[in-house]
Structures are given as C-alpha cells and as structure tokens.
Structure 1
Amino acid sequence: MKVLVIGQGGREHALAWKLAQSESVSQVFCAPGNAGTQSEATNVAINVSDIPRMVSFAKEESIRLAVVGPEVPLVEGMADALREAGVAVFGPSKAAAELEGSKSFAKQMMWKANVPTAKSETFFNFEAAEAYLEDREEQPLVIKADGLAAGKGVILCDTKQEALDAIKSLMRIKEFGDAGSTIIIEEKLIGQEVSILAIVSGSTIIPLETSQDHKAAHDGDKGPNTGGMGAYSPAPLVTETMMDEIIEKILVPMVNVMKIEDRAFNGILYAGLMITNQGPKVLEFNVRFGDPEAQPVLMRLKTDLGELLLAAAEERLESIDPLEWDERPTVCVVMASEGYPGDYEKGKVIRGLDEAAQLSDTKVFHAGTTMQEGQVVTDGGRVLGVTAIGETIGEAKLKAYQAVKCIRWDGAWCRKDISDKAR
C-alpha cells in the first residue's frame, strides 16, 4: 500500500523510516518532509495545514493510509477531511484532537473521567488571573497556555512574582499569540516525568513501550521548557504494576469519557505523566506521537508499523497480534540551533552527517533541516535527533553521543545528560 506521512519533524522522519521497512508498504510519501525524510520517502511540497491540497494529493496517488504527525493539522481537522475522501487515517478527529488543542478542555475531561491530575483553575482574562495569584500564599505553580504552543507554552514558577510575570507574558505580551488568551494555573507536581503512548481505536488500547522526555533546555533539568531535548526508552521508573495502574486509572477512563462525549478516539493517545509520591498524575494529554519520544520508541518496535497503523485506522486493532519489541534500550539526543528555544538563525550548513551514518546501531533523524544548493542546512530550533540502541542504557547513550560528536554546524548544541535518570 501507499502511505502518506504528514509533517516535517523528527517524529515524521522516524515514522517514514519505520514505515519504509514495512513489508505491507510499497511507497511512502512525506508532506512536506525534510532533508532526512527524502532518504526514506518521496517528499511532497504541501504545507501541513493545507487540507484541500493534502486531500487532492491523497486521492490522486491512491493513498491507502495517511499518518498525521503533528498536532496542528489534527486540531484543524485534517483527519476528518481525509476520511471523508475515503482515505484510512491514523489520527484523531478534530473533535477528539481538542484534548491537546485546549488544556482547559482536557482538564474537564479528566475531571469527568476521575483521572488523577494537578488541581487547577482556568482564566479567560488577565485581571482575574492576577487577582487569583495575589490572593494566594507563595507556592510553586505551573502556568500553561490553553492552546497549542509547540510544546513551549508551559512555565514553571517557584515564586509568586514568577507566576505574575508568566501570566503577563502569556496574556498581555502574547508570547504565544492566541494560545495564551486562556490560561491554566495549577499546582506544581513533584516527581519524574514519563511519556506513555498508546495506540487507540474504538475501545481497544495498545500501550507502546515507555519513554522519558527531557523538556528543560539545559543539563540537570534547568532552563526554559522546550519541545524536548532528548528521550530514552524504556523508562525503568514505570514498573509492570505501575503500568497496569496507568492503564486502569488513566488510559481506559479517558478513552471511555471521550466516547461518551461523542469524540471517539483513533490514533495515538499520549499521556504525559508525573510520577508523584501519590502515584502517576497527568500533566497533559497529546494526540500524536511524541517528538522526540517517537524516535527511541519506534527504533525498538519490531512489529510491522504499516499493518499496525492501518488496523487502527480501519478500527480492527483488536485483531493485531501482541506487539514485538527489541529488548535493548534506546537513547535520542536532540541537537539544537543556537538560541533555541528563543530566537535562532536558519541556513547553517550541517557537516558530518555521512560520518555519523556509518556508526552501527545509530540513526540520525532530521527534525529542522532542508536542502539548500545541494547541502543540508538547519531549518528549525530542534535540528536533529541522534538516536542509538545498545545492550544497556549507558551503551546506547555512549553510541548516541559518539554520533553527536561527528556532527557540527555553527552554533550547534545539546544537553549532555540525556538518559542519566535511568541509571
């Protein structure tokens, strides 16, 4: 079958790479793709939000399965339009994608489903949020933009002044545009974060292997939040008993409540969790593969990804055999542009990719790259996801950083401690 992967980041490169290995897949297209996806797929110059052109292309090429990578086209209704055109789609409807598109909506669903999460309040104007903070005693809080902000609309605040500055940044200065018109103020949960990704279709839920992201920009989880500076899989923190609890108390109730709300879920349900002293609590829900979590998780998957995603899209997921996994752990290190997650320059020539590609058990996934005059250049804040597999977490980390050392461009940087929490 022909498959269309929609998106242009590291997640989409990983999906295209894994789908190209599937016996069930004859050809992979990636729209718009990047400098890396063209090695595994045929890039198509269509913007991720151009729904009419995407539908036309899918029909012209007789696409059997469309896999929508990023959250923005899902929230805008890409999956609905493709389904109406007769294309099988792995990705939730616009109604179901609101679970990521609006954090306040997600909170409402969690309360209805009795899913454990942080206590929070939602505010629609600056004055009300300011008054709420002024009346509270000093305590660590988290301020979140309600809408989509490329994984960066979450501000951790240890003092009241930091919280006041955060709501001003979101609601007055509009740092993330309309995404911050509504905000959520919630208690700051203490613990370690883990990412739980599950393939959902109808009432069938198949959890994928666990992973742990690194959101903060700098070593030791310091600095501003980013879209993710690296990840590893599995996350030893999540025991078998804990996974059973997560399925029972979080995944199943959310899938059920979405069905009750006439927003039946199809695609990836991603639960970002904090493992607290009281057990797992939900920080956020996403409705697509995580980026960078997709890279280390998909590197470990042995099951035919094309067959798996098509079964989910066609609502026959219950017929799929248990997933097969490589038991070895994987580590993904994100290499970023100077200035990220703030302002950064594009167009820097990337050297050493061929050298890194020669290393065993390693794959360099492109995130923010493009081709310019025959050379691979930077085209985003997060540029590459250097991913390796090893007998141990330590070995996988060593291999990933050996590949990182091969690659260079003006201003390239990365965290040096990805996966250290797993030891």
Structure 2
Amino acid sequence: TALTLTAFLCLGLGQGLRNQLQTGTLRKPSIWANPGPITTMGSSVTIWCRGSRQADAYRLYKEQDSQYWDTWPPRNSADRASFFTESVDIHHAGQFQCAYHSSSGWSELSDPLLLVVTGAYSKPSLSAHPSHLVVSGGNVSLSCSSQNITDTFHLLKEREAYPSQQRKSEFSVGRHQATFPVGPVSTSHGGIYRCYGSLRNYPYVWSQPSDSVDLTVTGAYSKPFLSAHPSPLVVSGGSVSLSCSSQDRMDTFYLLKEGRADPPQHRKSQFSAGRHQAIFPMGPVSTYDGGTYRCYGSVRSSSHLWSHPSDPLDLRVTGTYEKPSLSAHPGPSVTSGDSVTLQCRSDQFFDTFHLFKEGLIAPPQQLSWQNNTGPFQTNFTMSPVTSAHGGTYRCYSSHRISPYLFSQPSDPLELVVSASHPE
C-alpha cells in the first residue's frame, strides 16, 4: 500500500534531489509518527514533518528506496505537513527523513525516523527471573525467547520512548533467546514490559508482541500488617479472611502466596479505625490454599511501586488426617516451678507435631519425630512451669513434605497450674 498524500507521488529521482538539499540555510525540520514509530500491520499511521510557515512544499524520503513523496502544507500556513498511510504492511518499515522547500530552496534532511512494523511473526515469550517482584536496589533479568529463528530481540517498556533495548539472540535448549539484565533496580524501572523478535535482513519488521510482564519494585513504603481471622488455622471446607492494613495511606493492597505463579489478588483500600485496610475472603478453603502469604500496598499514582512486604503469615489447613492424642506427664495438674511434658502421639506415620495453646497469638511450638524405630510421637516439655502455662492445649500432626496440611486437632487438654506450697 502506497503512502496516501494530499498532493502527488514522484518516483525515480530521490537520490538526485537529495543532492540538491541545502545545509545551514534553513532550519532543520523535525519528523515523527502518530500514534508512534512502532505500528501494527494493517493499522494506519501518519508521518509528520515540521519545517517553517514559509514552506511551500514538503518531501518524505525512505532509506534505500528510489522514491520520495511530495505534499503541500495546509492552507492555514501551518509549519508542518502530514503523510498518511491507511493500512501499514512490512514494506513501510524502515528509516524515513523529510525536508521542506521555501523561497530559499530546500532545507537539510531531518534526523531519521525509524518506523517499525510489528505482527510479521508469531509472538515470543517474556519472563522475569527470579521474579517480577524485585526490591529496590536489587537485580532482575528479563528473558525473551522463541522457538522460531530470531536474530535480535527487542525489549520495550510501555509509555517509554523508542528506541528499545536490543540483544542478539543465542540458541539454547531448543529456543532462540536473549537476556536483558535490569539493575540495580530503582523506582523508574517499574512498569509494563513486552518483547519482540526480528530477523537480521529486516531489522524494522518485528514479531507480534509477547505477553506483558509487570515489573513491580517493592520497598517504596513501610510494610503493612497481615492477619488471619478468626485464625490462621482453618478447617478444610471452612472460611477465613486475610486482612492487610497500614497506618500509611494506601490505595490498593495485594495478596501473594509464596510459590504461586498466578497474578496476585488485589483489593481497594478502605479507611477504618485509623487504618487503611483491605479484606481478602477465602472459602470454602481447600488444601490448595495452605501456604505462606504476604501482602503489599501501593498508591494510585504509582501502581508499579509497592511497599515492603508484610511479615509472612502461614495459613494451615486442618482436617486432612485423623487426629492425634495429647496427654500430660506426670499429669494435667502441675505445681508452679515443677516440670510437665505434653506428649502428642499418632497411630499413623507423621514426622512433625505441633502444639497450640488456645488464645495465644504466637506461632505454635513445632517438633520433629526423632525416633525412627519407636512410636510416632514427640514430647513438649515445660520447665519450670509458671502460671502463664496454664490453659487449653491441642496438638496436630503433619508431614514435612506438606507443612501446611495438618491433621484434625487432638481432643483438648486443660493444663492446671497451682501455686507452689511454701516450705
């Protein structure tokens, strides 16, 4: 498809007329493309040339092409003219320059405009390593790869001026790929990235864009607080709510589960009781939901800048296995200053046991089964006992390979601590 002009097309004389252009007599023109220098096959594009209000003609040249395009400026004596293409194809890709004519003759050529046409080949894949979440001052690598023959990969950040970063392709493990190191990361690196591939003989003809990678920089604000209600222990099939809150103003909170690749959950912040917070309801809970969670906050004006992560919260799903038994030795009634051992035991094989005290927010005590030949049990010893040890206890069993899946709770055990008798 040829460029559509408001005037006429001249062929075969491009190089000869270039030699007639003046240098230094007239102001150098500027050139740009609208909506941008990277355009998709089949879309429209307008190339603009800005010269002078005294210009009576504008001319557009394409590198390594024997043709040029002439047009007259609009009648309102504007200092620019446009060259419109209704449907771009790969033949429009390349380097363009423009010039303008006035009573003083022809101006010099503008700086080159590199017009890239995308969509000629299938899209590559883009990934971030070790993660798309990177702490300010840290390092991350963006890897672009394709099964198709590709000589060069190009990395673009959304809303950032062209030209792009580019790397030569290397062939490894059945794929053509290139790695773009980023770091030390600053707040300016946060944003949406895509990559493209091209061939050596057609540097301005690119593939379809990869799926986007949202590179998010953490550590911009103080960490929020993450809590589970009613408890971080939730029975399979039950419900739990994770609350992320901060005293600092946050517009959005994000909830991430460690080891999960899918996008984070996000909720708009609400202000309540002097804190900005968001609630993430979960339920009915399944074994898939067990794991370590963290949350982050961000402000509306900088969605790719997040806070420090909250402290981790371990969500444990109970009811997966039969309950163990809990007993006290020498007994559930103990005098302050003495010792007592709470024994958690199971008839089935388990390598880890957990002891919880009702009403205690602190993490549970956890011990591993040590005797590889004896019964499946472990002992939690308290010595010397104080009044603070009194209360209701339960224990759970689990496997080391599935640390967030617990058994049903043992029957409760009430530990009674009495004052020591004076001698």
Q: Could you say whether these structures have the same fold, taking a TM-score greater than 0.5 normalized by the shorter chain as the test? A: no
- Normalising by structure 1, what TM-score? 0.19
Q: Which has the higher contact order (CA 8 A, sep 6+)?
A: 1
Greater share of residues in helix? 1
Larger radius of gyration: 2
Greater share of residues in strand? 2
